[in-house]
Amino acid sequence: MLELLSIIVLAIIVIGVLIKEYIREKKSNSKANNELNNIKQTNTKQYKNKEIVNNKNSENKKSAIDEFCNKHYKKIWIVFAIILFITVIYKFGEIPTYMSVDEAGMAYDAYCLAEYGTDRYGNSYPLYLTNFGGGQSALNGYLIAFFIKIFGPSMIIYRLPTLLIYLMSVIVSYLLISKAKNKKTALLLTFLIITCPWNIYNARTAMDCNLYAGLFMLTLYLMDKAKKNYQYILAGISAGVTLYTYCLSWISMPIFLAVWAIYMLYIKKIKIRQLILFAIPIAILAAPLIYFILLNYGIVEQTQIGIFTLPVLSEFRVNEIGLSNWVATSLESLKTIFFSSGTIYLVYVPLFIFGYVLEWKQCIKEIKNKEYGISTVMIIAFTTILVGLLTTRIPTANKANVLYIPILYFVTIGILKIVQESKAILITFIIMISVLCAQYTYYYYTSIGLNISDWYQNDGLAEITRTIENDEEAKEMKKYILVYTNGPDIYTILELKLSPEEFAKDIEYKYYYGTLKRTAKVRNYNYLYTDKEVLNIDLNKDDYIFIVSNEYTYTIDYLLENGYTATDYKYYKILTKGEVLEIE
């Protein structure tokens, strides 16, 4: 409802601005005609003096909002800090209560790296994580491992690097735009970033791809700031490290860097020597990843480079990238990016289009005049990254997370153009965005941050495992797990804190549908994947603990009929004979 109302408010504002502009233009034309008549009766010098005074008054009027921002930006940042506390710091590590299998896999690999110097498969300091076979970028894993080494493993620690990188992205985005534009534009962009649903959601989860946006904005900031040789080297290091945040950066970043380099050389903003200094650290950091790609295509064979490992994946997802996706899936992907629930507010879509068009005009002007400008840099950044991302299908918005700060930049430009130095209109926008943010934040804390029934998520398996492991009798009993979630074993493994050696020894696998391998057993935790499998268990032989998702009604009814008692916990039923297992 509020989303629809915000669209209506935007439409009213735009109509009002157009009417006001029409009236102003009409009055201006009328005034110009009167002044032309007066020129004949007045001294030309007096007229020019009057015109100068009018222009100065106009300039003073236009700078009112800028003066306020320049004077009070520190106080505004205090407000931003409060917003950040409410949206991403409050109950950090507690909400979201669920943990995706990719988060759990990342956390377990990070634990193994911190304690044993290998991932869970025994690979020494891998430059790319294997995870469940499809791979995972390694940077987040190493950052988590660093904090585990200092503070020990916990949900806060697993998710802390994502939060820190997000907070860094907020700061560097402000610094970049404040330097390139002005504080007014930078403050509004910062406000949009910290109130954006996508950023609120992703700052709290430990997905590898969530680091791409922050590291990319840091790279843009360092590239913009670079003047001396060492600064170009630092920017190159940042760009190279960004390649370890997410595999889609391997195609989107090179496209961006190539176009940026052509632009900088064309306007003579960078020298060949500086460009080489910038490129050297990128090449050094990219070399292992290029080798990793060649390895997984079967072109090279060596998997060990000193202490570092480059794994061979069972599912090499680079094969999903292709130019054909521009035709086959681009519309679907664009719909996902701009219209997925929990990404950006619907009212931002027309504002983005408006701002994007305005910046294209400024970009063309800057290129024609061979000028360096942030408008051109942001156009190049967004457009090239989008082109790169669209070479693969984007079914979920997390694959395009790097785009959201540039999108909000163009929204900022659109808003400021509509505002046209009107305090009333700017305040209206701020109130509207604040209300939308308040609604989403409340919804997040009371609903989506607490309850997700999607099969890809866990909401309670870790707590159940923890309770079982703290109960000496339950710990020794045989457990059967039949849950409506992907990779349920990883939550058990994460809670048990298996060493890589134990991981290799204590896990048994079984095959489904030919080559589909799934975990059958982790110590005395046994995994079922269909209702029928429970019929193969001799319930009279021993007492067992069953953890069953509520969706599996046949299994639950079957166990109840055979003397088991059910305890409800979130989306599961814990079925035991005799004493009921209470989950804390």
- Give me the DSSP letters along 323-347: TTHHHHTHHHHHHHHHHSTTSS-TT
pLDDT score at 36: 53
Please state the pTM of the whole predicted model: 0.90
- List the end-to-end C-alpha distance of the chain, in Å, as a whole number: 38
- Same domain for 430 and 320: yes
Given 413, 448, 483, which residue is the final one in a domain?
A: 448
Residues of the chain below pLDDT 70: 22, 25, 27-62, 452-457, 512-516, 580-584
pLDDT score at 55: 45
pLDDT score at 454: 60
381 lies in a domain? yes
pLDDT score at 314: 83
- Same domain for 432 and 469: no
State how many domains the chain has. Answer: 3
Per-residue burial over 209-227, b = 16 or more CB atoms within 10 Å of its CB, e = otherwise: bbbbbbbbbbbbbbbbbbe
In 125-258, at which residue ranges do the beta strands (DSSP E only) sit? 128-129, 136-137
- Same domain for 483 and 352: no
H helices of 227-296, in order, are 229-242, 249-266, 272-296
pLDDT score at 575: 92
- Same domain for 469 and 437: no
CA distances from 249 to 47, 131, 143, 245, 408 (A): 59, 19, 18, 8, 20
**Residue among 56, 35, 59 nearest 46 (CA):** 35
499 lies in a domain? yes
- Same domain for 4 and 142: no
pLDDT score at 56: 44
Given 415, 448, 481, which residue is the final one in a domain?
A: 448
- Same domain for 410 and 462: no
DSSP label at residue 579: S
- Same domain for 436 and 491: no
- Same domain for 364 and 240: yes
CA torsion sign for 203, 205, 206, 207 is negative
How far apart (Å, rounded) are the C-alpha atoms in residues 556 and 575? 8
pLDDT score at 107: 96
pLDDT score at 53: 43
Which residue range is the domain that position 36 belongs to?
1-43
How far apart (Å, rounded) are the C-alpha atoms in residues 184 and 198? 23
509: which strand partners?
Answer: 519
- Is 359 in contact with 379 (CB distance < 8 Å)? yes
Q: Which two tokens stand for residue 538?
A: 């001799």
142 lies in a domain? yes
How far apart (Å, rounded) are the C-alpha atoms in residues 222 and 168? 13
How far apart (Å, rounded) are the C-alpha atoms in residues 149 and 170? 27
pLDDT score at 553: 92
- Same domain for 227 and 95: yes
